[in-house]
Amino acid sequence: MGLSGGQDGEHKAVTALLDRWAKALRDRDERAFLSVVDPDAEGFRTEQRALFANLAAVPLASWDYRLVRTGGFVPSGGDGHRVAAEAELRYRLADYDTVPVTTTARFTVVRKDDQWYVAAEDTRHGPRQLWQQGPVTAVRGAHSLVLGVGQDQARLKALADLADSAVPAVSTAWGSGRTAPGTAPPKSGATAAAGAAARRGGDWPGRVVVEMPASVDRMAELLDSPVANYRGIAAVTTGEVGGSGNAPADRIIVNPEAYGTLGDFGRRVVLTHETAHVATRSLTSAATPLWLSEGFADWTAYRGTGRTAAQAAPELARAVAEGKPPKDLPADADFGFAGEQGRLARAYEEGWLACRMIAERWGEAKLVAFYRAVGGHQRRPGAVSAALHQVLGVSEDGFTQRWRAYVASRFG
């Protein structure tokens, strides 16, 4: 059923309002941007003036709203005809996002004397954006864009340097990155279709976006998840899992508190691990077990460092020494934050050793082929077994037995 004449006119008016607002932001025209905001909503105007300033350093290639619906609950108070509006905010970072990032925005709009304004925004639900937390500082690297709030330039520059080192390391390990060391990111005129096609094939753009908020609490806001999930976690990677080809570049979100406790080597491992997740995302599906996705990321991070199993897997080494070697590859649940002390660390270490074993016994190319083969399935049942048979020529039971023996040999 279509909209009535009045509703249709309202929808068109609000669409035009949001189009004007988005254009003003893209054009960096503060006066035009604020002209869309209700002149009587003093607090909201102050917030929007600050938001406009917070975005000054963010390299936006696009910023648009698509009105989804109008109507519904509107907070009481104020004059004029007030309407709730839900829209999709679609934005793209220049040179980094191949397609727009999409997030939901909920506004109250008001009509006064035949003029429409945005009067309020409901930010209580869903993830926050970095620029909603304060003025953004941007640092561009050769392969990275680092955005920070509440961080000094030197710290963000050091983060960009590590990310720039991580990208070619991951490209070499993954074997399908098209960006060679020293190659500048493609210009923003590169088509989204080309980027999407590359992602469907398992290639990646060879560049990363890293965000460092002011605190772990602010990190949790960006991820729309309880802060307890991230205490002690140095960084996480966001993004759509699976090869739709429509997911934008992932964001590596850094916990400034946990990251700050690491030494130079630890920071390098963290950035390389998370960058590996960005590179492999389009070929990571619901069929991919966490031992493989996390193990591959750790294998990439430790590759070429010379770290021994005992150095890189101390919790697993302790368990083996105590006569408690693993019997099975870790389940997804073992990667949770609850459970016995040390279990999470051992799960990562066990996954890493499984991937390291494949790389040593069958070759690095076979490890990558195995990862791709598993991710090519849409469902978990049978995916690992089929890929083991197809790529490595071994049964699942046979692989597990070899892995047990490999673990024992590393700590014998």
Query: 221-249 in b/e burial notation, b at 16+ Cβ within 10 A?
Result: bbbeeeeeebeebbbbbbbebbbebbbbb
Q: Residues, the chain, total? A: 412
Q: What single letter denotes the amino acid at residue 19?
A: D
* Two structure tokens written together for 237: 């990677």
Residues of the chain with pLDDT under 50: 1-5, 176-201, 240-249
What pLDDT does 145 receive?
97
Q: What single letter denotes the amino acid at residue 256?
A: P
**Which residue has 């102050």 as its token pair?**
46
Q: Which CATH class is domain 5-126?
A: alpha beta
Give this prediction's pTM: 0.86
Domain 128-283 belongs to what architecture? 3-Layer(aba) Sandwich (3.40)
What pLDDT does 149 receive?
97
What pLDDT does 166 receive?
97
Alpha-carbon distance of 72 to 352, in angstroms, equals: 50
Domain ranges of the chain: 5-126, 128-283, 285-412
pLDDT digits (tens, 9 = 90+) for 103-162: 999 999 999 988 999 999 998 888 889 999 999 999 999 999 999 999 999 999 999 999
What pLDDT does 231 receive?
86
**Which residue has 């890293």 as its token pair?**
210
Nearest to 15 by CA among 114, 93, 116, 113: 116
* Two structure tokens written together for 110: 């008001």
Alpha-carbon distance of 275 to 347, in angstroms, equals: 20
Alpha-carbon distance of 128 to 214, in angstroms, equals: 13
What pLDDT does 146 receive?
98
Count the neighbouring beta carbons within 10 Å of the beta carbon of residue 192: 15
What pLDDT does 114 receive?
86
